[in-house]
């Protein structure tokens, strides 16, 4: 248990510095809702999920669990992390949005950590994400996204009206303002 506690205090290990040989794929999957599965069974221990999430690495569009001596491939249905809450402080351009993931990551949206909303081509349903670390995105859950909309404002970007969010002095467009009417 002390190894898992150490991760919480020190932050994630430097997986970006580790380049071990690929050992093959394992039957581990992260579902769209952020649930981790091993051999088709949900992993019920949050501390284990948190430990695994700390050694996640994205390389060439594929996800791996990495240690200094081995690298194994896993399947990710959508985003590997799941933002389940946020806090907002300040107003307008001075607003700061801090997101919290299911695996206890904490990230402030801004120039280094973008908020992105992808709309489904068929249904036009939005899927919101926030960058957490080293290319790893967290899907923002529905309740948090609805709360985020309350923080939104209309701005003009490159001559086009947008409804979006400010955080750390950066504006993140969500939807063209014209689409709202």
What does the buried/exposed string (b/e) look like for 129-146 if buried means 16 or more CB atoms within 10 Å of the residue's CB? bbbbbeebbbbbbeebbe
Tell me the per-residue pLDDT of 58-90, one tens digit each, with 9 for 90 and over. 999 999 999 999 999 999 999 999 999 999 999
Residue-by-residue DSSP string for 29-48: EE-TTS-EEETTEE---HHH
CA-to-CA separations, 171 to 30, 113, 138, 165, 168, in angstroms, rounded: 30, 12, 19, 6, 9
Distance CA 167, CA 160 (A): 20
- Residue percentage of the chain with pLDDT more than 90: 81
The pairing of beta strand 115-119 with beta strand 126-133: antiparallel
Q: Please, which pLDDT band fits residue 9 given cuts at 50, 70 and 90? A: low
Q: What is the DSSP letter of 27?
A: E
Nearest to 80 by CA among 15, 19, 36, 145: 36
* 11 — pLDDT class (breaks 50, 70, 90): confident
């Amino acid at each position: 248990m002390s190894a898992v506690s150490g991760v919480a205090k020190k932050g994630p290990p430097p997986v970006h510095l580790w380049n071990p040989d690929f050992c093959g794929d394992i039957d581990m999957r992260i579902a769209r809702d952020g649930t981790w599965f091993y051999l088709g069974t949900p992993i019920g221990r949050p501390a284990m999920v948190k430990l695994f999430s700390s050694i996640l690495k994205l390389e060439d569009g594929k996800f791996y669990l990495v240690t200094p001596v081995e690298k194994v491939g896993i399947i990710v249905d959508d985003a590997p992390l799941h933002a389940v809450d946020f806090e907002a402080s300040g107003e307008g351009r001075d607003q700061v949005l801090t997101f919290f993931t299911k695996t206890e990551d904490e990230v402030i949206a801004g120039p280094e950590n973008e908020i992105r909303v992808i709309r489904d081509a068929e249904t036009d349903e939005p899927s919101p994400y926030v960058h957490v670390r080293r290319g790893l995105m967290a899907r923002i859950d529905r309740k948090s996204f609805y709360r985020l909309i309350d923080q939104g404002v209309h701005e003009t970007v490159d001559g086009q009206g947008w409804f979006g969010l400010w955080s750390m002095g950066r504006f993140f467009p969500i939807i063209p303002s014209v689409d709202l009417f």
